[in-house]
Amino acid sequence: MPLQPTDVLRSVLQGQRLSEEAALALFERCDVLSLGGVADEIRKRLHPEPIISYVVDRNINYTNICISRCSFCAFYRSAGASDAYVLSRRQLFQKIKETIGLGGTQILLQGGLHPDLRLQFYCDMLRFIKREFTIHIHGFSPPEIIHFARLNSMSIAEIISRLRAAGLDTIPGGGAEILSERVRSEMSPHKCSADEWLRVMKIAHEMGMRTTATMMFAHSENYAERVEHLSKIRQLQDETKGFTAFIPWTFQPFNTRLGGMPVFGVEYLKTLAISRIFLDNILNIQASWVTQGSKIAQLALRFGANDLGSTMIEENVVRAAGVSYRMSLSEMKGLIADAGFQPRQRDCYYNFIDGVSEKGN
Q: What is the DSSP letter of 258?
A: S
> Do residues 308 and 53 make contact, with C-beta atoms less than 8 angstroms apart?
yes
Position 360 scores a pLDDT of 34
Position 324 scores a pLDDT of 64
Position 74 scores a pLDDT of 84
Position 256 scores a pLDDT of 85
CATH fourth-level superfamily of 35-56+138-157+169-345? Aldolase class I (3.20.20.70)
Position 317 scores a pLDDT of 67
Q: What is the DSSP letter of 346?
A: B
Position 357 scores a pLDDT of 40
Q: Which stretches of the chain score pLDDT less than 50?
A: 356-361
Position 355 scores a pLDDT of 64
Q: What are phi and psi of 171, to 5 degrees?
A: -120, 130
Give SS3 for 343.
Answer: strand
User: Residues forming the annotated binding site?
Assistant: 66, 70, 72-73, 141, 177, 288, 310
Position 290 scores a pLDDT of 85
pLDDT (tens digit per residue) in 149-193: 999 999 999 999 999 999 999 999 999 999 999 999 998 988 999
> Do residues 300 and 273 make contact, with C-beta atoms less than 8 angstroms apart?
no
Position 322 scores a pLDDT of 63
User: Residues forming the annotated binding site for (3R)-3-methyl-D-ornithine?
Assistant: 141, 288, 310
Position 22 scores a pLDDT of 97
> Do residues 137 and 109 make contact, with C-beta atoms less than 8 angstroms apart?
yes
Position 264 scores a pLDDT of 78
User: Residues forming the annotated binding site for [4Fe-4S] cluster?
Assistant: 66, 70, 73
Q: What are phi and psi of 85, to 5 degrees?
A: -150, 160
How far from chain centre, in Å, is Cα 176? 9
Position 356 scores a pLDDT of 46
User: Residues forming the annotated binding site for S-adenosyl-L-methionine?
Assistant: 72, 177
Position 23 scores a pLDDT of 98
Alpha helix (H) ranges present in 153-180?
156-166
Position 69 scores a pLDDT of 87
| Closest listed residue to residue 32, CA positions, set 277, 204, 328 | 277
Position 75 scores a pLDDT of 85
Residues in contact with 121: Cβ distance below 8 Å, sequence separation at least 6, in sequence order = none
Give SS3 for 11.
Answer: helix
